A and B are shown apart, each in its own frame.
Chain A
Amino acid sequence: MEVKLQVENEILDKIKHTFHSAEVSIPRKQRVEVKLRNDLIHPFLAYLKDTLGFKHLSHISTVDWLEENEIELVYIVMNYDNLVEVIAKIRLDREKPEIPTLREFWPQIETYEREIHEMYGVNFLGHGNLTDFILEDWEGIPPMRRDFDTVKYAKETYFNRPGREDAQDVRTTITKKSGEEIPELAKVYSVRHLE
């Protein structure tokens, strides 16, 4: 196994020598995962791109860690020579998520950053074009944040198509058959009621 992961281990060593605070692991073949301090993401990606040959930016993903009050950005870059992917993760304060833009490295990152700004409310400093992307005139919580109530929004925004009036309540269907009478104090815990 050690021999097989030679390339990955070399990358891991180089990253560790250059960025002492980074937590680096190899979850599987052709993949190196790095957890970074926020302020290191620029020098880190510059180092990967210019020195280690990770020329390709595959994707930026975002995770809302509601309970920990953090927003995680996940940068995925790839090296065409050895087909290894590096996954770099940073965590921002959820109340005020801010990070300088990376558009000077990869111009196409502008689009990713605009989308993340709109869907998660992350502010990319120096981006210059964080305007409406897919949503128009969106107000309130960014919709991909976990505390956004999608169901409530769907109910308030859209009307039910005609023909859906015959929908049945599962719990009531069962109680009608069995004769069970659910007391008021229990009803608040029912999860199968139509509103």
Chain B
Amino acid sequence: MAFDIKGILSPFKALNQMGKHPHTVKFPYEEKVTAPRYRGLHFNDLEECIGCGTCSTICQNKAIDMINIEGIDPSSGDTGLRPRVDNGRCCWCALCVEVCPTGSLSLTTDYIYVTEDADSFLWTPGVDNPEGKEKKSFVSDSEHSLLEYARVPMRELEGSERVKSFAEVVLGYSEEEARKEAERCIGCGICTDNCPVHMHIPEYINAIAHGNDEDAIRIIYDNNPLGETCGKVCTRRCEEICAISKRGEPVAIRWLKRYATERAANEEMVKEIVNPTILPPNGHSVGIIGAGPSGLTAAYYLAMRGFNVEIYESKAHAGGMIMYGIPKYRLPLDSIDKQIEYMESIGVKIHYNTMVGKDVTLEELHQKHEAVFVGIGFEKPYSIGLTNEEAEGSIQAVNFLRAINSDKHVEIGDKVVVIGGGNVAIDAARVSRRLGADVTILYRRRVQDMPADWEEIEGAEDEGVHIKPQAIPLELITNENGRVVAIKYANAEMVPDPKGGRPRPKIIEGDEHIIETTAVIGAIGQEADYSFISEKIKSQIEIKRGRIVVNESQQTGVEWLFAGGDIANNRADAISAIADGFRATKGIEKFILNKEN
């Protein structure tokens, strides 16, 4: 019998396979590693998701519903809804992930879904698979996306060019730019919640995207008769919560509104396009005090409903703060004229140079009209509380801006110091630059604490305004003629607020400086002048922290008296005033018609 070495060695042949990748299924079972960007079951980060519904809208199979989920409440910038996927319909194309503006929705490496109920295809990502967060596979990124995260830039005059005149700084979108910018909007409508008057933003933007600018104008005028003003100077709270802003630049809602409203070049065109339905006179009459944004808005919509509307305006021109407060390089006179003339053309009557309390009393107005709306705004500046404040060369910003906007000359010299950090302070500084002065802004806190719009602050810096933050003015120094020649201020450091508020400035002892100046402009706030209201009426209405308390239809404690604008809300902007006027329209109509029955 021959010796067979093979028989002895064969069992050891298996050792050849040592260290090689096995072909058999491993025990214990290990899940296979999926390909990169594998598209498995959905996962939704419930915290990141804002419920905009873009996933649901894009789904070609209509597999995604937006539903309420217990424990998730709507808030500013979040509808409170979350997507639910019908896995029986989903084809895992991942379009929903590609268009998710927040990036909360993704597809995971999970591809196994076992359940005892054969009909349970409905799957709420994030709720049904919280562990999916660790298994994200197909995610969207803002670099390569179906959404456009970068805004179409707005063309502006150069800083050096701007200071030469009061020409409008922002040049506006061209038709092509506007279409491109409008197409960035995903139409969720989350922005409308933050707009005080709840303009129909996604609708008019979509109209612009479709090239139907006239429809956009009609939609804008549905609840805002000063759309062009807002298109230029709105504080645009809408853009703060734009869904696109979660990962990119918000849609330029303000500039698109500006584009649309400017397509109607004059008041005849506005009237022709808007073509408002004006009801026949209903025999009722409403008086309005102050032709500012709130008063004009109330007047416009009341006139459309057949009311006889008369506005009493103390100045020679209508517009209130948008006329006398906002500098002309932001909102030109032509534009204001166009909007006011349009309103007058549909029946709003304005009595100019008529001061209530002097030329006519509130009681007389009440006898003439069934209801009176007060929108007088904050015109009386706060004093800055420094010695020599009354001296020549010390000016209040609102008075200064009013004089400049009325084409009057104000002597400010060539070295101006502005005190304050709000939009009024920035406006005063930028206007002073245009009058040829060197301008320094003294502000108590840090630049990031300034209440002014960041674009305004940047604009001021581009134009060569010096901003001196953490500087507390101490006194105005006058010469022998009693004229302000310098201002003394102290540097401050920021200390935490013991009550947990924002950090507070604290003077650094001995760190005092003096700047020579030819004029000091104070801009630390304004209040209302209620002297036209008689004591009897005053006792029936409530004034809290300088503002009249009103109900949800802008009605005061006196049933025929309504109020709106700065005197009734603390937001200090045109759009909030417009919202007040719009609400008051309904309140006044209800009050008068109810009384009749």
Contact = CB atoms under 8 A, between A and B. Distances in A.
Q: Indicate whether A and B interact.
A: yes
Interface of A: 150-151, 154-155, 158, 160-164, 166-171, 173-175, 177-180, 182-183, 185-187, 189-192
B187 interface: yes
A164 B192 contact: no
A167 B68 CA distance: 8
Nearest to A163: B122
Contact of A180 (B119, B121, B200): B200
B215 A189 contact: yes
A168 B192 contact: no
A164 B122 contact: yes
B80 A173 contact: yes
Contacts of B219: 183, 185-186, 189
A104 to B, nearest CB: 34
B192 A175 contact: yes
18 contacts: A150-B60, A155-B62, A161-B119, A164-B86, A167-B84, A168-B66, A173-B74, A173-B81, A175-B189, A179-B198, A189-B202, A189-B207, A189-B210, A189-B215, A190-B187, A190-B189, A190-B202, A191-B57
Given A179-B198, A182-B203, A189-B206, A170 B218 contact: no
A88 B56 CA distance: 37
A171 B189 contact: yes
Contacts of A151: 59-62
A168 B189 contact: no
B61 A154 contact: yes
Interface of A is mostly: loop
B569 to A, nearest CB: 16
B99 to A, nearest CB: 12
Contacts of A160: 62
B357 interface: no
A186 B203 contact: yes
Contacts of A167: 65-67, 84
B135 interface: no
A161 B85 CA distance: 11
B376 interface: no
Interface string B111-123: 0000000010110
B223 to A, nearest CB: 8
Given A171-B189, A182-B203, A189-B206, A166 B68 contact: yes
A160 B84 CA distance: 13
Interface string B191-211: 011000010101110110010
A195 to B, nearest CB: 9
Given A154-B62, A189-B215, A161 B190 contact: no
Interface in B493-533: none
A28 to B, nearest CB: 16
B465 to A, nearest CB: 38
Contacts of B186: 191
B79 interface: yes
A180 B192 contact: yes
Given A164-B86, A179-B198, A170 B68 contact: no
A158 B88 CA distance: 11
A168 B61 contact: no
A143 B483 CA distance: 82
B172 interface: no
A150 B68 contact: no
Given A166-B65, A174-B190, 19 more contacts: A158-B61, A161-B88, A161-B122, A163-B122, A166-B67, A168-B66, A168-B81, A170-B56, A173-B51, A173-B79, A178-B192, A180-B200, A189-B210, A189-B215, A190-B202, A190-B203, A192-B187, A192-B188, A192-B202
Contacts of A162: 119
Contact of A170 (B53, B61, B210): B53
Interface of B: 51-53, 56-57, 59-62, 65-68, 74, 79-81, 84, 86, 88-89, 119, 121-122, 186-190, 192-193, 198, 200, 202-204, 206-207, 210, 215, 218-219, 222
A145 B65 CA distance: 26
B51 A170 contact: yes
A9 B56 CA distance: 47
B200 A150 contact: no
Contacts of B122: 161, 163-164
B204 A189 contact: yes
Contacts of B198: 175, 178-180
B44 to A, nearest CB: 15
Contacts of B202: 171, 189-192
A190 B66 CA distance: 16
Contacts of A150: 60-61
Nearest to A182: B200
A93 B218 CA distance: 42
Nearest to A190: B203
A159 B440 CA distance: 68
Given A154-B62, A161-B86, A183-B200, A177 B193 contact: yes
Given A166-B67, A170-B51, A177-B193, A192 B200 contact: no
Contacts of B192: 174-175, 178, 180
Contacts of B187: 190-192
A160 B56 CA distance: 14
Given A173-B81, A187-B203, A168 B222 contact: no
Nearest 4 Cβ contacts at the A-B interface: A167-B65, A170-B53, A180-B198, A191-B187
Given A180-B192, A192-B53, A186 B68 contact: no
Nearest to B205: A189
Contacts of B80: 173
Given A186-B204, A189-B202, A174 B67 contact: no
A170 B188 contact: yes
